[in-house]
Amino acid sequence: MLVLGIETSCDETAAAVIEDGRKVRSDVVASQVLVHAAYGGVVPEVASRQHLATVVPVLRAAVEKAGIGFEQLDGIAVTCGPGLVGALLVGVETAKALGYALGKPVVGVNHLAGHLAAVFLEQPQLPGPPPFPHLALLVSGGHTALFRVGGFGDVRQLGATRDDAAGEAFDKVAKLLGLGYPGGVQIDKLAAAGDATAYQFPRALPGRDDIDFSFSGLKTAVATEIARGAPGPGRPLEDFCASFQAAVVDVLVRKSRRALAREGLGDLVVCGGVAANRGLRAALAKAASEDGFQLFIPTPRLCTDNAAMIGAAGSALLARGVRAGLELSVDPGLSLETLAAG
């Protein structure tokens, strides 16, 4: 089964061809980062126009790289939310037009379900697909949550951030430090050369059995330090970034461990853009070997937004007979709970 995945929910125009739900035949991502960097963040109207200009060439490239023609596709999977409404519309309308013209089935995919499915794609560093049930930590620019995943479409949220998402904290702190947009990758790079014990930043760990997150206090602590003149002479930027990153990573690891123990699960899937962070990956690998759980993290390219993960999640839906009609619409606020409905 060959499925074309299409992703346009934010600032990446992406298309991919997935074979049998597992094998990445092609994976094309046209990033708009340089266009938005001038504004210090994603400008929704600019994003929509960029998607319009790039979506068709990106689709053609994905099909060509997969070594097939459009007529060989068995289905089309497209992100229908959550995300920016204008950006989502470009993907969904394109998918419907293509499906209609080719006579192929189309399914709408929840972007978050896509992130959760990234780990089911064949990747050399993974032992194989994770078993069900497993715990999934989703850490992206818009979401930070822990789920118990019993199967495709069987997802229960155990906890989530009460304020900022982890990726948002990375991006806001990077902005405060004048590191530009997007900030997560910059902090990751600088942190690798820094001393994580140089600054003491707070770890918000509300309640003993609680597995919610909170990053707004950390962001305030960082802003206060910066107002006091840090990082400055003798107090390198690398140390500041390493200390901030350690505070985020520490909380993510502790809450994941707590959730694994509470739920009696032995497998942890980590996904979303922040899962590309080297500090987080290293800390989780250490925790996995100490506690004896199995860790599944997609390769960094499949952690950040891409269409291969949408193709993977969509393949599972198509295999179950799910089909969207021409009335398929976008839902910018599509919630985590609707994951349960697929």
Residues that bind ligand KG4 (CB under 6 A): 10, 140-142, 167, 170-171, 182-185, 188, 272-274, 276-277, 304-305
188 binds, among Zn ion, ligand KG4, none (CB under 5 to 8 A by kind): ligand KG4
Nearest CB to ligand KG4, comparing residues 245 and 315? 245
Q: CB burial class (10 A; 0-12, 13-18, 19+) of residue 340?
A: middle
Beta carbon nearer to ligand KG4, 2 or 283? 283
Smallest distance from the beta carbon of 251 to ligand KG4, in angstroms?
14
Kindly tell me which residue out of 79, 140, 161, 214 binds Zn ion, with binding defined by CB under 5 A. 140
Instruction: Specify the residue, 115 or 255, whose C-beta has the smaller distance to Zn ion.
Output: 115
- Choose between 41 and 128: whose C-beta lies nearer to ligand KG4: 41
Q: Binding to Zn ion (CB under 5 A): which residues in 157-176?
A: none
Planar angle of CA 187, 335, 51, nearest 5 degrees: 65
Cis peptide leading into residue 133 (ω within 30°): yes
For residue 19 the two structure tokens come to 């074979």
243 binds Zn ion, rule: CB under 5 A:
no
Choose the contact partner of 133 out of ligand KG4, Zn ion, none; CB within 5 to 8 A by kind.
none
Q: How far is the CB of 12 from Zn ion (least distance, A)?
A: 9
Pair type for strands 75-81 and 23-31? unpaired
Report what 239 binds from ligand KG4, Zn ion, none; CB cut-off 5-8 Å by kind.
none
Smaller CB distance to ligand KG4: residue 170 or 213? 170
Q: Which residue number, 27 or 305, has a Cβ lying nearer to Zn ion? A: 305
Nearer to Zn ion, 140 or 243 (CB): 140
Q: Among residues 6 and 177, whose Cβ is nearest to Zn ion?
A: 6
170 contact, one of Zn ion, ligand KG4, none, CB 5-8 Å limit per kind: ligand KG4
Q: Report d(CA 1, CA 19) in Å as an integer.
A: 6
Secondary structure of 166-194 as H, E, C letters: HHHHHHHHHHHCCCCCCHHHHHHHHHCCC
Binding partner of residue 342 among Zn ion, ligand KG4, none, CB cut-off 5 to 8 Å per kind:
none
The answer to whether 108 and 328 are in contact (CB under 8 A) is yes
> What residue type is 151 in one-letter code?
G
- Residue 171 binding: pick among Zn ion, ligand KG4, none (C-beta 5-8 Å cut-off by kind): ligand KG4
By CB under 5 A, how many residues form the interface with Zn ion? 2
**Identity at 90, one-letter amino acid code:** V
* Cα 110 to Cα 331: distance, rounded to the nearest angstrom: 9
CB neighbour burial string for 59-96, b if at least 16 within 10 angstroms, e if fewer: beebbeebebeeeebebbbbbbbbbbebbbbbbbbbbb
Query: Please, what is the minimum distance in Å from the beta carbon of residue 71 to ligand KG4?
Result: 32
CA dihedral 250, 254, 256, 259 (to 10 degrees): -160
Binding piece for Zn ion, criterion CB under 5 A, among 33-41, 79-87, 135-143, 242-250: 135-143
Burial of residue 219 (CB within 10 Å: 0-12, 13-18, 19+) is buried
Residues 270-329 that bind Zn ion (CB under 5 A): 305
Q: How far apart are the first and last CA of the chain?
A: 19
Stretch that binds Zn ion, among 28-36, 133-141, 232-240, 261-269 (CB under 5 A): 133-141
| Interface with Zn ion (CB under 5 A) | 140, 305
